[in-house]
Structure formats: structure tokens, C-alpha cells
Amino acid sequence: MDLSNIITVGTDWTDLAMNAPAAPSNSPNYTINTKEPTISSADITTPNGAYNAGDNIDITITYSKAVTIIDAPQIQLNVVGDATRYATYNSGSGGMAIVFRYTVQTGDNISDLGASGVDALGLNGGTIRDAEGNDGINTFPDDLTAENAVVIDTIAPAVEAGASAGVVTEQFTQDATTSDVGGSGIATYAWTKLLGPDTITFGSASAEDTTVNASGKGNYTLRLTVTDNAGNSNYDDVSFTWDFPILSYSPIDRATGIAITNDTATITFGGSTNITLLDASKVTLVDFVSNASRKGVAAVSGGDGNSKILNISYAGLENSHQYRINIWSGAVVNSNGYVNSDGVSYFTTIKDTAAPTIVSHTPASGAPGVATTVVPSLTFSEPMKQRMINSTNIQLKKYSDDSAVPATVSLIEGGTQVNITPTSALTASTSYYFAVSIGAQDETGNALATPLDSTTKADHKFTTAVVQDVVVDNVTPKRNSATANGTYLSGWRYTFRITVNTSETNMAVKFGDWINSTSGLASISANGNMRVLFDTATGNGIDSLSLVGFEEANITGTDLGSLHSYAIGNEYSDKLPAVIPIGMLDISTDPGKQIEFEVFTKLPEGTAAGLYSTSYGILTSY
């Protein structure tokens, strides 16, 4: 409290000389000041922003009157760190504005700097007094946060550059993950190439995520550096390979138990761009031991707009062999202009332990009336070893005395069919049987499971025909699968070889309608869908002629040299344009007259799929 006072001195006193005052006197007016200094304002005077370790933050406290600071009063702050943080007296003693300073320490962090409360100013063993000795009242008007936006951030942001793209050959997106939880917020992103042989082009080098494109093949490492608003930085690296990758092989690398049937191996490349075959000689498929090539044609799958598969046909594989697929650099190129790198894969074929069996033979068991010019044949369950197919292991024998018929034994049809061609016609009205020993082996060396010999000859015999006017020696299917498109060239084709009496001059042929034996319902009419082709000069079918220029019209009626076409149907009289002249024709020196002709059948569009059968008749001297 302030008091104004006057002191009056009377006359009842003397000085040392005993002199008394003549009259009373008054003193000057005086004041006694007992009012404490108070804080009128408190503010963070360092500009708003984000601050890092080592930065100084000033807080200015303004008192209602001038104060003197003794020692080091301090303001407790709201900073989160490893210890309580203070702003300590810095300057201003003797005046009204007192400055406290806080130096940011590593580990400090707060999103809005302020005092710990309105009573955060502590004397710390010192004093804050005015000139009259009154202690200051050190209460803040608030905690300093409302009027300021000072962020303390000494923690680096978190950054993950993202998963590796692996092996790539085209632009890709690198997705990163970053955060600055409780910090000042991320200010900048910076993608850079750390390692790699060539140039990297970033789609957004200053963004969290970016597209990446390399100008050359090789191994690359990228770095993403992230900096927050306080200047804290962190980084993470990610690596990838820029190349033209092979994704897979088929058969897969080191596969075992692969069938030896002719098939196609594949190499599938990565990326979304198509590939083109540059050099087929740089693609090989060989026997690992002998280095013999088993490669057929190498070609790229096409037509789907996404052709990334290289197909390698192969044939001639053997059981229990290992094979190697090599693709050398420069074999293929993708749409980006990159050629492939070297690649290799291995596979092993299945071990063959199964003994071969006889699936069928022609003529069939018990067949009567077989032409004396027949070429008997055997069909095996798998390809047979060539050198073991001979007249010692496979024979045709006469049923009556087990004598062998002189014949040539040959392996055909991919190694599964054996023909026994007698050196002369068989005897009419005579029984014969097949004799096959266990000396016949498959390609792996497995012996025949069950031999055919004299002890079982009754189960595999046939009998030749009695001489008659017309004998069908052979009906050979040249095409027994067809496409229903209404053309003879795509239909069924059979070669008939017949023996007739030498006196016969004309011939007619008829066929019943083809019946779908699968459903028993659908049929193909013989009339309008069947024709006979016959060479009126040689007595042969089409095989005796050069096929250069042969086309659909030559079947439907346009003669090709001496090759004539005849329409046939259900009756002998359905032939067009006339009877088939056989005259003096004979294609063999065997008894009687042998001739051949071709029978073509076209399948109308819409013909139901299935197995079809029919009957036929041949008439001479018509």
C-alpha cells in the first residue's frame, strides 16, 4: 500500500549548543511503496515454426514495473523428452521485459510449445524484485500455447521405401510408406539412384510414391530420403534388377517322370509386353549326355495380344534320359527392345518298366475269307526297338505244319505297327497264324509280355479266301478322321484293293448310308456325299499319280489326266457318269486281276460328331 506523510518538528528540543528552534517546522511529503510487480504479458517471441535440437527459443515475460533478476529463475515447459525442460533467465534485469531462453535438446518433442502451466515460473533459488524490494508475483496469464505455434521436433520421420519389384523389364511403381507421428510433418521427399549401371527416370522424384524406369539392364538400388519441417531426415533403400526375366519353364526345371511322347516345351517371359523370336538357333533342346538335338520348331505363341511364351516342339525322346533346354542371349526381344539373358533348364523322362503287348493284329483272330494278297500286321502297345523287329522274332506260319512263310518284316507307324509282307501270295483256303517271340522288345529293352506261338495258335489264326469273282484284299484308311465342312478333301478317304477275275471289264460300287454308331441316330447319306476316284490308265488309285495341282474339283468331277471321278450312292445304278472301266488293267503279277481305287466321303456342315460305320458292295461285269 502507498502512504503519503509529513513529519512536523516542534520547539521542545535544543541542539548541542543549547539553542532551541524559534518555531515548529514540517518535513517534505514522502511515499512508502509496498505494491508487488506482476506479469502483464508472457509470449514466445521466437517466430512460429518447427525447431530442432540446438535451436534457441526465447520467451519474454513483461512485468508491471521494472524488476531485478538475481541468479537464474526458470520456466518449466511442456516439452516431452528424457527430462523436464526449462527456459532459463537470459536477459532484461532492471527492466520490465525479462527474456528466458530454452535450447532444444535431442529427444525433445512437442507439437505446440508452451509453459507447463500458469505457475510454471520458478525462482530456482534466485529472486525477482522491484527497486523497493517487493517480490514479483510470477503468475502467467495463460500457458503460452494459444497465441503461438512453435513445434519442437527432434525425431526423424519413419520411412520404408517399399517392397522390391524383383526382376522387371518395364516401368513400375514403387510404393513407399512414410509417417511423422507427433512430429512437425513431412516437408520433402527425394528419390535418388544410389547404385546402378545406367540412368533412372523417376516419374515423381519429390513424391512419396513414384514410377521408375531404367535405361539399361543391371542391378539398381534406389534411396528415398524424407525430411520433416524441423529438418530431421531419414532414408530407406530398395533394390531391383532391370532385365528381361524368364518366369518359368515347362517342363519345370529339374522335373522328372516326363513322358517321351512328342510334345512342346515352353519358356514364359515376364513383363506385359509381347516377345518376338530373333534367332531360333539360340534356342536348343538336347540330350544331356549325347548332346543330340531333339528340338523341332521354336515359335512364339501369337494372336492373343499378350504373347510372352516361346514354344519349343520336341520329338524322339528316350526313357530315363535327361534333357537340357538352353536359351542364349539374343534369342528373343520384347516390345521395349530388350533381348533376353541366358537361361537353362533340365528335365528327365520317365523310366519305362512296362512290357509291351500286342494290342491287335490284322487279319483278326478267326477271320475267314482273307485275300491271298493280304499284308498281315501287328499293332503293339508302344514303339518297338527297330533291331529286334525281324523275321526271327516275328513270323507268319502255316497252321497245318508250323512252317514259316517267307516274308519281309518291317516296322512302321511310329514304331508301333509291324507289317509282314509275304514274298508271294498266300495259298487260298489255307489257315495261317502269327508267331511272335519274346525277342521282340520295346525301345527301352522290355521284352514282349506274352509271346504268340504254336501252343496258342488257335487264338491268333486266319484263313484265306476261296477263289471268287471279287475279293477285297485290303481296305486302307488314308484319312479316318474328318472335318464337317462339306468338302471331300476334309472328309474320309479309303483305298480299296480288290482282286477280280481276269475276264471282268466293268465295275460298279455302292454304299449304304453312314450311321453314327455313337448315338445310333445321325446319318450321312451316301448319295451326294461319296465319290470313287480311279485311274483308268493304270488301274491304281490316287497314290500312283503326282498330286501336284490336285484339288477339290478333281474329286467332284474335273478329271486330272487319266484320274476319273465317279459319283456313287446306295445302288449300283447310282453311279455317274458311267460304269467304271477296268478292261485289261492289272497292278500286280498275283493270280487274278488286282486294281485299286479311292473312296472319298464328305461330311456336310453340322454333321454330328461320333463314330460312323457303313456297308458296301462291289459288282463286276456290270
Q: Where are the domains positioned within the chain? A: 39-153, 158-242, 246-349, 358-464, 470-620
Kindly state the percentage of the chain with pLDDT values over 90.
Answer: 65
pLDDT at 549: 67
CATH architecture of the domain covering 358-464: Sandwich (2.60)
Q: Burial of 501 by CB count in 10 Å (0-12 exposed, 13-18 middle, 19+ buried)?
A: middle
How long, in residues, is the chain?
A: 622
Is the pLDDT at 481 greater than 70? The verdict is yes
DSSP-assigned states of every residue in 290-351: T--B-EEEEEE--SSS---EEEEEE----TT-EEEEEE-TTSEEETTSPBPPPEEEEEEEPP
Q: What is residue 87's predicted lDDT score, i.e. its pLDDT? A: 96
- Average pLDDT of the segment spanning 487-499: 93
Element (H, E) at 553: helix 552-556
Split at pLDDT 50, 70, 90, the class of 546 is very low
pLDDT (tens digit per residue) in 509-518: 999 999 998 8
Say if residue 541's pLDDT is above 60. yes
Reported as half-sphere exposure (CB side, CA atoms, 13 A), residue 177 has a value of 4
pLDDT attached to residue 551: 85
Flag whether pLDDT at 439 surpasses 80.
Answer: yes
* Range with the poorest average pLDDT among 102-116, 268-282, 399-413: 268-282
Q: pLDDT: is 29 or 569 the higher one?
A: 569
At residue 548, what is the residue type?
Answer: V
pTM: 0.47
**pLDDT for the residue numbered 587:** 87
pLDDT of residue 444: 80
Whether residue 502 has pLDDT greater than 60: yes
Helix (H) or strand (E) holding 552: helix 552-556
Residue 479 and residue 599 in contact, taking contact as beta carbons nearer than 8 Å: no
CA-based torsion, 7, 9, 10, 12: positive or negative: positive
> Residue 21: what pLDDT?
79
Going from the C-alpha of 586 to that of each of 181, 252, 494, 536, the distances in angstroms are 102, 58, 20, 11
Identify the pLDDT of residue 119.
Answer: 93
Domain 39-153, CATH number (from 1.10.1740, 2.30.30, 3.30.1490, 2.60.40): 2.60.40
Checking if the pLDDT of 3 tops 50, the result is no
What is the predicted pLDDT for the residue at 592? 80
For the segment 397-403, the average pLDDT, to the nearest whole number, is: 96
pLDDT of 547: 57
Task: pLDDT band for 421, please (50, 70, 90 cuts).
Answer: very high
Is residue 406 scored above 90 in pLDDT? yes
pLDDT of residue 564: 87
CATH classification code of 246-349: 2.60.40.1220
Tell me the pLDDT tens digit for each residue of 17-64.
878 777 887 767 655 566 899 999 999 999 999 999 999 999 999 999
Q: Percent of the chain beyond pLDDT 70?
A: 95
Between 506 and 601, the more confident residue is 601
Quote the pLDDT of residue 303.
47
Mean of per-residue pLDDT scores for the chain: 89
Q: Which amino acid is at 59?
A: I
Which pLDDT value is given to residue 588?
86
Contacting residues for 23 by C-beta, under 8 A, at least 6 apart: 11
Q: Which fold has domain 158-242?
A: Immunoglobulin-like (2.60.40)
Q: Where are the strands (E) in 16-120, listed by range?
A: 25-26, 30-32, 39-44, 49-51, 56-63, 68-70, 74-76, 86-91, 97-103, 109-110
For residue 190, the tally of other CB atoms under 10 A from its CB is 15
For the domain made up of 470-620, give the CATH fold: Immunoglobulin-like (2.60.40)
- What is the C-alpha separation between 175 and 166, in angstroms, rounded? 14
What does the alpha-carbon distance between residue 572 and residue 233 come to, in Å, rounded to a whole number? 100
Query: Which residue would you say has higher pLDDT here, 622 or 507?
Result: 507
Which pLDDT value is given to residue 1? 42
pLDDT given for residue 306 in this prediction: 56
pLDDT greater at residue 110 or residue 469: 110
pLDDT score, position 477: 92
